[in-house]
Structure 1
Amino acid sequence: MNNYPLLNLFWTMLEFFLWILWFFLLFKVLTDLFRDHSLSGWAKAGWIVLVILLPLLGVLLYVIFRGKSMAERDQEQVKQADAAMKQYIRESAGTTEGGGGQAEELKKLSELKASGALTEEEFQRAKTKLLA
């Protein structure tokens, strides 16, 4: 332990941390490349070759030139995931845009039947259609 002073340990930890950080950035760049539909296949291949052959320079150039659009694609993906989650919750809860779901619709149908606006036959058809 005497041959490895504390400062060298901190330096090694910093190098390791930066190495891991670079790998995260590399994977982020590669996933962004494949997610971007505005780039042609040749442009994607060019970026991939640059990132693989000159890793540090390629990743830094990608972030410099395409960092803003990378953030916009991330925001768009978050919005799409949020919309999908809200749609799933609406479908699971059985509600529609107007709210209420099947129970509310059945209540409206029974009120229409009670007021005489629907006959028994029309009520049964609408109820069957609603529950199907």
Structure 2
Amino acid sequence: MWDSFWDFIWYTVVIFAFVAYLMILFWIITDLFRDRGLSGWWKALWVLFLVFVPWLTALVYLIARGHGMSRRSAEARTQMQQQSDDYIRSVAGKSSADQIADAKALLDAGTINAQEYEALKAKALA
């Protein structure tokens, strides 16, 4: 299959470069469609250049819009975490208002003191 050890090394380097290019390409395309400030025409133009002049376009995109990529990625990660937390809270049981109402009932009954009520209230709102 390979004539020498160096053919194997070269094949490995080429495969690595191709996989790295595909990862960068998918990150760029994901970032393009995540960016709400960029019009559809600009997105189409970027994709068109990515198809016909891929390496140069990828380098230009990373240089010109790289900082924005990290910001949009962090925003998307924060939004997904918030959605996950909201979903977990919705299926986990009582809402914050219910927990505070229960704590108020315990305070009114004299089961807990004001400090414990405030601690339970802060925990419910966190």
TM over 0.5: yes
1:88 partnered with 2:66: no
1:90 counterpart letter in structure 2: R
User: 1:63 — aligned with what?
Assistant: 62
User: 1:122 — aligned with what?
Assistant: none
User: 2:6 — aligned with what?
Assistant: 7
User: 1:43 — aligned with what?
Assistant: 42
User: 1:31 — aligned with what?
Assistant: 30
User: 1:77 — aligned with what?
Assistant: 76
User: 2:119 — aligned with what?
Assistant: none
Q: Offset of 1:62 from its aligned partner? A: 0.7
The superposition leaves residues 94-121 of structure 1 with CA deviations (integer Å, 9 ceiling, x where unpaired) of 233367378x37x82x886x79xxxxxx
- RMSD, aligned CA: 2.6
**Unaligned runs of at least 5 residues, structure 2:** 111-126
- Deviation >4 Å, runs of 4+: none
Q: Offset of 1:26 from its aligned partner? A: 0.7
Q: Offset of 1:66 from its aligned partner? A: 0.5
The superposition leaves residues 43-82 of structure 1 with CA deviations (integer Å, 9 ceiling, x where unpaired) of 1111111111101111111111111101100000000011
Measure, in 1, the Cα distance between the counterparts of 2:20 and 2:107.
64
Identity of aligned residues (%): 33
Whose relative contact order is higher, 1 or 2, with alpha carbons under 8 Å and at least 6 apart? 2
Measure, in 2, the Cα distance between the counterparts of 1:63 and 1:88.
34
Structure of higher CA gyration radius: 1
Q: TM-score if structure 2 supplies the norm length?
A: 0.75
Q: TM-score if structure 1 supplies the norm length?
A: 0.72
Measure, in 2, the Cα distance between the counterparts of 1:76 and 1:91.
22
